[in-house]
Amino acid sequence: MKKIDFRTDVLPLKNELYRLALRITLNHAEAEDVAQETMIRVWNRREQWDTIENIEAFCLTICRNLALDRSKLAERQNASLDEGIDAADHSYNANPEEQTVQRDRVELVRRLISQLPEKQRSCMQLRDIEGKSYKEIAEVMGITEQQVKVNIFRARQTIKQKYSETEQYGL
Amino acid sequence: MDYKYIEQLVERYFQCETSLQEEQILKTFFAQQEQDVPQQLRQYIPLFQALDDSHAQLSDDFDERIQELTCEPRIVKARTIGIGERLRPLLRAAAIVGVVFTIGTAVNLPMKSEQAAADEINYSAYKDTYEDPTMAYDKVEDALQLLSEGFIQVRMADSLRIDSLYSEVK
């Protein structure tokens, strides 16, 4: 098996980890913290790297668990989720020229994704955004491939349905 | 252009029956300009464009921070040093001192012997100046007298100066 090098194998996963954390926590600062902590946790377990089959899935699993802990903590502290969603939108609202109708629709879809249950959100993130196979997602999430498929199916259906409802009735 | 294939892919996408490659095709297709997409498919543009999350990236500071936090202490291998190796600098210094000393002595030795040869008194080389011993005695006496006078004068001058200085200080 290939020897794992932190700088070439783990560090480039930072954006992927960050996006997954962002999808779960819905907050940029929290997501960055989670990504950093994931890196450190992975680093601290470097003695076990040889026994890990898929370092990427391993990192993503740690990242997801950390992000879930954080979001649970945030929920307990009654932090508003809307705040996080707004924060996520800033980068897109920065340029007024980009605020076309199309852009707003994209934003609407992003918001709809953020409103999905966490499992569906994470599955969708890993499949549709990071382009992972069902098998890999199952490994990261610790569920069966069938469950992954069900979650993604529900997520896509919900998004499609809610999106067309919003478009039709302007909800 | 025939968009049946895309339509079919979209349908299969929502049934979770598409492969990763097919999903990539859909993403690429809907990433193009709105006017290039046929009317019946335009509704799906935002759905697929929202899946492009590449703008969400961490800055380079993050890398630096992580590298600072994860720097491994450098592995230093212990090396055994034998007594000979440990004393090597000392021996080297001693050797240098030895060489310098030897050269110094070698240069100094002939010079010394030359000097010694010059200082040596060879009594046989001397020749008598006077034939009459009494005359020679007188001459020596005169010369010593002269020397004695000189000494006396100098001593008087010295004591005078000291006396005057002493009185001045007083």
CATH number of the domain that residue A62 is part of: 1.20.140
pLDDT for A2-59, tens place per residue? 677 777 888 888 888 888 888 888 888 888 888 888 888 888 888 887 888 888 888 8
Q: What is the pLDDT of residues A58-68, one digit of tens each?
A: 888 889 888 88
Query: Which domain, by its residues, includes A109?
Result: 6-169
Looking at the complex, does the CB of residue A95 fall below 8 Å from at least one CB of chain B?
Answer: no
The question of ipTM being above 0.85 is answered as: no
Could you tell me if residue B58 is inside a domain? Answer: no
Confidence grade of residue B141 (pLDDT, cut at 50, 70, 90) = very high
Residues A72 and B56: their CA atoms lie apart, in Å, by 23
Contact list, A106 vs chain B (CB under 8 Å) = 46, 49-50
- Phi first, then psi, for residue B54 (nearest 5°) are -70, -15
Residue B45 lies in a domain: yes
Judge whether A43 is closer than 8 Å to chain B, CB to CB: yes
The chain-wide mean pLDDT, for chain A, equals 79
Residue B129 scores a pLDDT above 90:
no
Q: Which range of residues forms the domain containing residue B113?
A: 87-119
Q: Is A36 on the interface with B (CB under 8 A)?
A: yes
When the pLDDT of each residue in chain B is averaged and rounded to a whole number, the result is 83
pLDDT band for position B48 (cuts 50, 70, 90): confident
| Residue at B37 is within a domain | yes
A41 interfacial to chain B (CB closer than 8 Å): no
- Residue A146 domain-assigned? yes
The answer to whether A46 and A10 have CB atoms below 8 angstroms apart is no
What are the start-end ranges of the E strands in A12-164? none
Domain count, chain B: 2
Burial class (CB in 10 A: 0-12, 13-18, 19+), B61: exposed
Residue B104 forms part of a structural domain: yes
Q: Is residue A77 part of a domain?
A: yes
Question: CA-CA distance, A167 to B51, in Å (whole number)?
Answer: 19
B79, part of any domain: no
Q: For chain A, what's the residue count?
A: 171
For B96, the token pair is: 């240098």
Query: What is the count of residue pairs from A and B with beta carbons less than 8 Å apart?
Result: 79
Quote the pLDDT of residue A78: 55
| Test mutation, A39, A134, A166, chain B, max B CBs within 10 A | A39
Number of domains in chain A: 1
Averaged pLDDT, A156-167: 86
Q: What is the value of pTM for the model shown? A: 0.60
A119 contact B CB<8A? no
A52: left (phi over 0), alpha (psi -120 to 50) or beta: beta
Contact A156 B56 (CB under 8 A): no
Task: Tell me whether residue B155 is in a domain.
Answer: no
Q: Tell me the per-residue pLDDT of B84-97, one tens digit each, with 9 for 90 and over.
A: 888 999 999 999 99
The shortest C-alpha distance from A124 to chain B (Å) reads 9
B35 contacts on A by Cβ (under 8 Å): none
Residue A31 falls inside a structural domain: yes
Q: Which residues touch A126 (CB under 8 Å, ≥6 apart)?
A: A20, A60, A132, A136, A137, A140, A141
How far is it, in rounded angstroms, from Cα B157 to Cα B7? Answer: 135
The better pLDDT of the pair B29, B101 is held by B101
**Is residue A1, in this structure, part of any structural domain at all?**
no
- Rounded to whole angstroms, the maximal C-alpha distance in chain B is 156
- A11 touching chain B per CB within 8 A: yes
Using the Cβ of A7 and the Cβ atoms of chain B, whether some distance falls under 8 Å is answered with yes
